[in-house]
Structure 1
Amino acid sequence: MNNIKTKLQEVYIPFLIVSIGTILSYNIFRWTLDIKLGILPLKENLLNFWIPFALPWIPILIWLRRRIRILNVRGKRDNGYFGYQFAMAAAMAVPIIISQNYIEKGSFDLNEISSISKVKELKNEKYFKISSFNIDHNSSLPYVTARTSGRNNDNLNFYLYLACPFEETSSIWYGVEYKKNLSNRINEQRKNSEYRTFLNKSEQEFKTYNFQDVEYFERLGYSDDRDGFIEAIKERNANLNEKEQIILIPKNDVFEERLGNSFSWIFGSFGIGALVLLVMVVIPKIDEKELNDFKKNKPIKEDDLKDMLGFLNPMGENKATAILLLLNIIIFLIMTFDGLNIVSPTPKELLEIGGNRRIEVMNGEYWRLFSSMFIHGGLLHLFMNLIGLGLGSSLLENILGSVKLIITYIVCGILASLASIYWHENTVSVGSSGAIFGLYGLILAFTVFKIYPNYMRGMTWMLLGLYAGVSLLFGFLGGIDNAAHFGGLISGFVIGGILILTNKEQLKKNAS
């Protein structure tokens, strides 16, 4: 009984306190700054999913991670403790995500107005029931785009946004959206056929669209859909003020039923998560040594988190590796909080923030050869490149030194960008993989010419096969810029050869 009491006091009750505090804090933060004051310049997908998904890990890593260690858990990964952290994160994230739907919809009433012009007067409102309105059907403005989705970008999604102007007013638009989902693994010919079919079908449906079949309107917030309608409007109004544009989406459901069961599921999902955690905490025995260390405030002996943070320390042993990793992470965060889709930004979006394409570079925008090295086409793209960069640069920094490693990375990245625009006429290329392949070109040269000691060459060959070989193979299957990969790899190998010719003995000494 004392063991159960200790586990409840030291693990479970702190989890409940931290969880409830995290859930309440984020909802108050969201309601105050976004719903009430409207001063939070973040897209809805970030506020509704990605921040709630990531946020719980902060209090878990700060306050709960050490407490879990008092449980005598056995497992393959970190003695099973990661499973507890994941369960805690899920128990917090799910109710936070559900509560965003409730807050976003439940914080606004339905405003019944007589004319569309009244919408401008109700700047802080979201829902409108308009007694009379007319649409200029012939002045509708289209915009078509595509995004990938799924765990491995398995899905291809086509979107057609039609911004239709209301009569007798400006800057207020009736939004009509069509979309189609298909597999991203089909060949290009099939994709083009599906795309044309989608456009033709949508066009035919729009010809008979009933604009008056609407129960109420919802004003679109800052989102990818709103960006799509804004792009449609900008096709004919290049200098318009985007913030002043109001996009109204027709709704046909009953307004009072818009929340569904979301309120009860906030508490229900948290209750389920808390019950699962209770069982997980009660079942294992207590690790007496860890409990004593915890009470004495001793740090964890083998702390993977501490090691990872040390690896990202620009003042630590691997300065250049840390700097390059942090640059890629920080720039991705800035881009995301600036409105770029975190999963699948479009080529147009990537080009606008510094992506690499032949026509722009040939017209004098040479900076794109450099800027594109730090831009990534989604979270998965960034994650895979961070792994490749961390592994590759850690094998080179002690041999080259921090300054030479950064210079080599940049030179190879620029040469990879040049290879990309030479090979591709109209492809928007982004990502650090060209520069990373340059580092692997150096590793290849140092392996072939035996700069690395014998005991390391087996590992370098395996790494080259797993990362570089697999990446190139997937590049041949489509969707990856292999021109940049080969450009970086060859550049790195040539640079490595030059370094070996000029300073082989010193390189071997550093490697040993």
Structure 2
Amino acid sequence: MKDLTLKIRLVFLPLLGITLGFLFLYSLVHSMFFLSLKFREDVLGCYVPFLLAIVLVFFLLRPTVKRLYGKQKKWREAYYVVFTLTIAIPTIIAQSYLSKATGQLTALEDINQLTQQKESKYYTLNRYHIDTTQLARYEEQQVYGKTSNELSLKVYILFPITKRYGDAGTIDHLYWMGRVYKKSYNGPTNAKERHFFFNQMRKEIQAEVNWTDFRQFTFLERMDTSKDREGFAQALRSIGQDDSLQTVVFKAHTEPFNRRMGSEFLWVFGSMGIGLAVSFVLMSYPKIEP
């Protein structure tokens, strides 16, 4: 019992304080200084919090853990991983929530009014046409695994958004609806089988495209300069158009606007609770070394 009390005082309570403090401070700084700027959302919302969590664990928790469990290396390494995830995951989810919650919805009569309004994250269109006959497409194939038996296919597809039916998208068209499709398969053992399954995945994706009514959506989300942006840029290059900062790619949503955040707010605290519970159980099991 004495050992457990010492562990709670020296490890668990500092972990709780660091997790809550980091969540609050990073979210505050992110919302005040970076959400309005054109940074990659995956960098500021995911990679930076994760790297900072590693730094916090290394400098603030590692010395105490090392002192309490000096010779139990496997336990120490497990602590570092679990503590990092406990700190990072709630903060990462919170940044996604903040990005969605603070995004403004702008109503446009048609897509050509976009430049006449202050830049927003979300838009509705009263009059529009999605030209599914003039699509731009790019695909990425990946073969991995020890025996090259795991396949992944990622397909980027863009459709021009125009004011009305009959307004064809030109080679310098600026407004596009983007969609990313992902398929994977595990099993092929040779080049012939891999070729066959890549073709099967292409057919499955094409069937999804054929059956989807892209004209039915409730609102559009302006996509940031995330990692998918390069895939869309490649799709535009495939039809002879150079990607530029003026090109705007939108993601279509079919859910009501007030449900765009889903249950992310609950998961901020849910993931924190799970991480703290796992940390407590893991921390309480081994004995403190003299």
TM (normalized to structure 1)?
0.49
Alpha-carbon distance change, 22 to 227 in structure 1, aligned in 2, over 3 angstroms: same
Q: Point out the structure with the larger helix share.
A: 1
* Alignment-derived partner of residue 63 in structure 2: 66
Q: Does 1:274 align with 2:276?
A: yes
Distance 1:8 1:271 in 2: 16
Equivalence map 1:396-415=2 (5 Å): none
The SS at the match of 1:144 is: strand
Q: 2:265 aligns with which of 244, 254, 263?
A: 263
Q: 1:160 aligns with which of 132, 150, 155?
A: 155
- How far did residue 26 of structure 1 move? 3.1
CA contact (8 A) 2:143 2:152 kept: yes
Q: Cα deviation per residue 1:343-375 (whole Å; 9 max; x = unaligned)?
A: xxxxxxxxxxxxxxxxxxxxxxxxxxxxxxxxx
Stretch of structure 1 that moved more, 171-180 or 195-204? 195-204
User: Runs of 5+ in structure 2 lacking a partner?
Assistant: 164-168
CA contact (8 A) 2:69 2:76 kept: no
Distance 1:62 1:252 in 2: 45
Q: 2:133 aligns with which of 108, 133, 138?
A: 138
**Bigger relative contact order (CA 8 A; separation at least 6):** 2
- How far did residue 31 of structure 1 move? 3.0
Q: Point out the structure with the larger strand share.
A: 2
* Alignment-derived partner of residue 388 in structure 1: none
The SS at the match of 1:165 is: strand
CA contact (8 A) 1:95 1:266 kept: yes
Q: Does 1:242 align with 2:237?
A: no
CA contact (8 A) 1:71 1:284 kept: no
* Alignment-derived partner of residue 468 in structure 1: none
Distance 1:152 1:263 in 2: 41
Q: Does 1:100 align with 2:89?
A: no
The SS at the match of 1:90 is: helix
Alpha-carbon distance change, 155 to 35 in structure 1, aligned in 2, over 3 angstroms: farther
The SS at the match of 1:125 is: coil
Q: Does 1:192 align with 2:187?
A: no
- How far did residue 283 of structure 1 move? 5.5
User: Runs of 5+ in structure 1 lacking a partner?
Assistant: 289-512
Amino acid at match of 2:196: S
CA contact (8 A) 1:144 1:160 kept: yes
Amino acid at match of 1:268: G
Distance 2:233 2:248 in 1: 9
Q: Cα deviation per residue 1:84-125 (whole Å; 9 max; x = unaligned)?
A: 222211211221232233123222133332211233345642
Q: 2:228 aligns with which of 216, 225, 229?
A: 225
The SS at the match of 1:253 is: coil
Equivalence map 1:29-40=2 (5 Å): 29-38=29-38, 40=39
Amino acid at match of 2:92: I
Distance 2:56 2:2 in 1: 27
Distance 1:150 1:108 in 2: 40
* Alignment-derived partner of residue 251 in structure 1: 253
The SS at the match of 1:260 is: coil
Alpha-carbon distance change, 19 to 237 in structure 1, aligned in 2, over 3 angstroms: same
- How far did residue 284 of structure 1 move? 5.2
Distance 1:89 1:139 in 2: 46
- How far did residue 2 of structure 1 move? 6.4
Distance 2:67 2:17 in 1: 18
- How far did residue 285 of structure 1 move? 5.1
The SS at the match of 1:214 is: coil
CA contact (8 A) 1:52 1:93 kept: yes
CA contact (8 A) 1:73 1:80 kept: no
* Alignment-derived partner of residue 474 in structure 1: none
Alpha-carbon distance change, 123 to 226 in structure 1, aligned in 2, over 3 angstroms: farther
Distance 1:17 1:85 in 2: 16
TM (normalized to structure 2)?
0.81
The SS at the match of 2:112 is: helix
Distance 1:180 1:2 in 2: 53
* Alignment-derived partner of residue 11 in structure 1: 11
Distance 1:50 1:149 in 2: 24
Count of residue pairs the alignment pairs up: 282
Amino acid at match of 1:84: Y
Stretch of structure 1 that moved more, 168-177 or 149-158? 149-158
CA contact (8 A) 1:148 1:184 kept: no
Amino acid at match of 1:137: T
Distance 2:190 2:140 in 1: 19
Distance 1:96 1:215 in 2: 29
The SS at the match of 2:162 is: coil
Distance 1:279 1:176 in 2: 42
Q: Does 1:26 align with 2:26?
A: yes
Equivalence map 1:490-501=2 (5 Å): none
CA contact (8 A) 1:71 1:281 kept: no
- How far did residue 27 of structure 1 move? 2.6
Alpha-carbon distance change, 35 to 72 in structure 1, aligned in 2, over 3 angstroms: closer
Distance 2:49 2:143 in 1: 22
* Alignment-derived partner of residue 127 in structure 1: 122
The SS at the match of 2:245 is: helix
Equivalence map 1:106-125=2 (5 Å): 106-122=101-117, 124-125=119-120
- How far did residue 58 of structure 1 move? 0.7
